[in-house]
Amino acid sequence: MPKNLMTFLRNLVLFFLLAGISACDGLDDNTPNQPPGQGGGDPSGDIYVSLEKLEVSSTPPSVITIFFQARDKNGDPLPNLINDQFVVLEDGQDPGLEEAGKEIVPRGELPYTLKTILMLDVSGSISNTELTQMKEAVKSLIVDENGESRLQAKQQMAIYTFDEEIHTIQTLTNNPATLVNSLNNITGASGTLLSTNLYGAVLAGISQWTDVFTTEEIVQGALILVTDGKDATGTYDLNSTVSAIGSKTVFTIGIGDNTDQNALSKLGRSGTFNVANFDELQEALTEAGQNMADLANSFYYLHYASPKRRADGPKENSDHLLTLKVLNNKNTGSGSKIEATFNSFDFSLTMPEVVVSGPARIDSGQLASYTARTRWTSNPGRYTWDIVGDCIAQSPPDSSTQTLLGNFTGTTSGQCFLTATDTMNNDITNVPPYEVTVKPVQ
């Protein structure tokens, strides 16, 4: 497989990256927010790790959150680091990590939405056989060979096709079955004289989302465009299209010898490559799976409950230095640690809390899993569930994981509300209830 193809595939996972934001309170850090992830590994061996601080923040009553990315000695993304490999110091001292509840936060608990737009060329130059190959390749992004979803947590995907015009095949959804069914229904224009509105397709694709990074919401999107040709309609020009892309994430894939690689390179600001034929497309996307996971899992969201409290005297007496390191790190230079200051003047005891994670939007008839866990306690949780609204429970009533079936027959959207009660920790519940929107099947 071409080397530049594998480089592209390693970058392609950027559109799957997870993102999260924590409200800032009392920390001296101006680093912009970026998407986090999680990992797993062996804390005992030596390793070279370079840490990039993305954001450090605090939330009441005393929770410190650190967003960062890890890379290896070659600058490549470094996944699979686990909680025990990270060392947190306050003023150079161990704050008591077990007592402080240090952990890598699971992705599903973070406030983000990933919007992925697939834009597929179906102009007259693509044969019916090639169209079938393209559909199979794209299907491998959605489900594995057993039909199990490959979508990331809180990821939505949409499918569009283009020739002279842009055609909506499937609007944004997190339902893999809906995506596959819509993909299977795509028909081409083989043998016709339909032209290629390449630049119009890019403009239509990037208009489907707005990147948002606030304390209440984070949305990150990406466009993946597949074509075997070049712009022929002249409806839009290259320079204005590139300008419209701005900072948005766009990948372009050119197939065969009839593409305009210069244009695709400028349009694909996040990655572009060319493959010889449609046979290579499916193989490439299949092999990309692990590369996607590596990059996604090199982003981490670590938090802990600080034991620091208000110091005597003025507020500045409660300033402290936070340091994050990696155990047995061979890197002793730049990037070997993350530092930030925080102020504990208003800190107080962090109490146990129940959090529920899972898809915030499902289709009627779609099965979806939701998980409950209790933070800030060493006591294991055990949960009962209360479900109100347009969902039907599909799991035992006493479990940390609850599977729901969307059950809405109206014409707009339904809702259901999930409350998990931890019977092992004083019957505490998630507040407010976890809200799920149930969409009718179109």
Counted residue by residue, the chain has a size of 442
Instruction: Say how far residue 345 (Cα) sits from the centre of its chain.
Output: 34
pLDDT at residue 61, rounded to an integer: 95
- Who's near 442: CB < 8 A, 6+ residues apart? none
pLDDT at residue 41, rounded to an integer: 58
Q: pLDDT tens, 12-41?
A: 434 343 333 333 334 544 333 333 333 445
* Range among 65-69, 185-189, 339-343 rated most confident: 339-343
The least confident of 103-112, 143-152, 354-363, 411-420 is 103-112
Task: Say whether pLDDT at 228 is over 90.
Answer: yes
Which CATH number applies to 20-105+297-343: 2.60.40, 2.40.480, 1.10.287, 1.10.3470? 2.60.40
First-to-last CA distance in the chain? Answer: 40
pLDDT at residue 295, rounded to an integer: 61
* Range among 92-96, 344-348, 363-367, 380-384 rated most confident: 344-348
pLDDT at residue 30, rounded to an integer: 37
119 or 19, higher pLDDT: 119
**50, 331 Cβ separation under 8 angstroms:** yes
Over range 195-222, report the average pLDDT.
84
DSSP 149: B
- Assigned token pair, 300: 């981490």
CATH 3.40.50.410 fits domain 112-276? yes
Q: How far is it, in rounded angstroms, from Cα 338 to Cα 51?
A: 7
Asked if the domains at 20-105+297-343 and 353-439 fall in one CATH topology, the answer is yes
**259, 277 Cβ separation under 8 angstroms:** no
- Assigned token pair, 436: 């799920």
pLDDT at residue 3, rounded to an integer: 44
Instruction: Provide the total of helices (H) and of strands (E) in the chain, helices listed first.
Output: 8, 24
Strand, coil or helix: what is 385? Answer: strand
The burial class, CB within 10 Å (0-12 / 13-18 / 19+), for 91 is exposed
Over range 240-265, report the average pLDDT.
92
Which residues partner with 71 through β-bridges?
A: 50, 77
pLDDT class of 166 with cuts at 50, 70, 90: very high
Pairing of strands 218-227, 113-121: parallel
Domain ranges of the chain: 20-105+297-343, 112-276, 353-439
pLDDT at residue 31, rounded to an integer: 35
Task: Say whether pLDDT at 292 is over 60.
Answer: no
Q: How far is CA 160 from CA 59, 138, 172, in A?
A: 41, 12, 10
pLDDT at residue 313, rounded to an integer: 97
pLDDT at residue 378, rounded to an integer: 85
- Who's near 145: CB < 8 A, 6+ residues apart? none
pLDDT at residue 293, rounded to an integer: 56
Q: Residue 405, Cβ neighbours under 10 Å: how many? A: 16
pLDDT at residue 334, rounded to an integer: 87
- Who's near 433: CB < 8 A, 6+ residues apart? 386, 388, 417, 418, 419
Q: Over the chain, what is the mean pLDDT? A: 84
pLDDT at residue 272, rounded to an integer: 78
pTM of the model: 0.69
CATH 2.40.50.90 fits domain 353-439? no
Q: How far is it, in rounded angstroms, from Cα 222 to Cα 219?
A: 10
User: Nearest 5 degrees, angle CA 59-CA 317-CA 22?
Assistant: 15
List helix spans (H) across 143-226: 176-184, 198-206
Q: How far is it, in rounded angstroms, from Cα 222 to Cα 13?
A: 10
Task: Say whether pLDDT at 399 is over 90.
Answer: no
Q: pLDDT tens, 210-223?
A: 987 654 566 778 88
Which residues partner with 166 through β-bridges?
A: 162
Backbone angles phi, psi at 200, to 5 degrees: -65, -35
Over range 266-272, report the average pLDDT.
85
One DSSP character per residue, 22-52 reads ----SEE--PPP---------SSS-B--EEE
**352, 425 Cβ separation under 8 angstroms:** yes
